[in-house]
């Protein structure tokens, strides 16, 4: 049977625990993320939401289960390319010393992105949409608020044209107006290529995620449940 082309990312029987006799942090996780979709996962702190995103991005080892991208299991030599297409954005980005522009250039130094160049016109358009002037590129890391660091990390990722965004509390540190602008930008990003892009949010804020995402799941003690 041919894989369903609308399913971009799948998890099958994912499970994680820190030690062989320790508690399960993820257990029997099954999900599908379809093209054009925003999938929301809500739950309290410690329920496993961030660990789920990291596991889907294959940033942490799995005890059981596997991840599929466009219907094919991901492993071995395919992982670097997979991570360039399925990108996890942390709630608290770890920017490096230097300016905003320096931090936007750094992902382009990776071998997998060697053919890309910094597109200041496109970046300037995103910055204006988010209420920042182009001199924002000159700001240094130490002068950025937590919300501004989230903006830098988001733009650094969007310039790579990923297929899937895995977003950990993507607007939690932003003021109301900027949060709305980020939501609109992310909707626009998917709508530009609805057959080839999708996003997944995790948050403790049920109402915000409900208003933004087309489908919701609840995470509790490392398991996913429908809502």
Asked whether residue 214 is domain-assigned, the answer is yes
Asked whether residue 217 is domain-assigned, the answer is yes
Asked whether residue 21 is domain-assigned, the answer is yes
In the chain, the number of structural domains is: 1
Q: What is the CATH number of the domain that holds 197?
A: 3.40.50.300
Assess contact for 190 and 182: CB atoms under 8 A: no
What is d(CA 182, CA 109) in angstroms, rounded to the nearest whole number? 26
Residue showing tokens 């508690």: 23
164 exposure class (CB count in 10 Å sphere: 0-12, 13-18, 19+) = buried
Rounded to the nearest angstrom, the gap between the alpha carbon of residue 13 and the centroid of all alpha carbons in its chain is: 21
Helix (H) or strand (E) run with residue 66 in it? strand 64-69
- How far CA 90 is from CA of 33, 57, 132, 154, 170, in Å, comes to 19, 12, 21, 10, 8
Cα within 13 Å of Cα(32), Cβ side: 11
Asked whether residue 93 is domain-assigned, the answer is yes
Mark out the alpha helices in 25-145 (DSSP H runs). 49-56, 79-85, 100-105, 120-129
Asked whether residue 180 is domain-assigned, the answer is yes
Predicted pLDDT at 3: 65
Predicted pLDDT at 21: 84
Asked whether residue 1 is domain-assigned, the answer is no
Domain that holds residue 140: 7-222
Closest among 152, 172, 190, 210 to 50, alpha carbons compared: 172
Predicted pLDDT at 18: 82
Asked whether residue 56 is domain-assigned, the answer is yes
Closest among 40, 28, 54 to 211, alpha carbons compared: 40
The DSSP-derived string for 155-186 is HHHHTT--SEEEEESTTTTS-HHHHHHHHHHH
Regions of the chain where pLDDT drops below 50? none
Asked whether residue 2 is domain-assigned, the answer is no
pLDDT tens-digit profile of 60-102?
Answer: 989 999 999 999 999 999 999 999 999 999 999 999 999 999 9
């Amino acid at each position: 049977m041919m894989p369903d082309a609308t399913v971009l990312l799948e998890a099958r029987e994912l499970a994680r625990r820190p030690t062989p006799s320790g508690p399960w942090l993820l257990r029997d996780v099954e999900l599908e993320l379809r093209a054009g979709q925003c999938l929301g996962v809500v739950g309290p702190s410690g329920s496993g939401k961030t660990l789920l995103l990291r596991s889907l991005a294959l940033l942490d080892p799995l005890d059981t289960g596997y991840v599929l991208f466009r219907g094919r299991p991901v492993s071995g030599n395919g992982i670097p390319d997979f991570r360039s297409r399925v990108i996890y954005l942390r709630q608290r980005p770890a920017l490096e010393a230097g300016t905003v522009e320096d931090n936007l250039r750094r992902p382009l130094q990776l071998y997998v992105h060697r053919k890309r160049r910094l597109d200041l016109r496109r970046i300037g358009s995103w910055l204006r949409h988010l209420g920042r002037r182009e001199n924002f590129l000159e700001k240094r890391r130490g002068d950025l608020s937590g919300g501004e660091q989230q903006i830098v990390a988001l733009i650094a990722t969007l310039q790579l044209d990923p297929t899937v965004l895995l977003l950990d509390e993507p607007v939690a540190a932003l003021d109301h107006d900027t949060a709305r602008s980020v939501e609109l930008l992310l909707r626009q990003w998917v709508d530009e290529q609805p057959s080839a892009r999708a996003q997944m949010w995790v948050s403790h804020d049920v109402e915000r995620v409900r208003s933004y995402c087309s489908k919701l799941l609840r995470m509790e003690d490392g398991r996913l449940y429908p809502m």
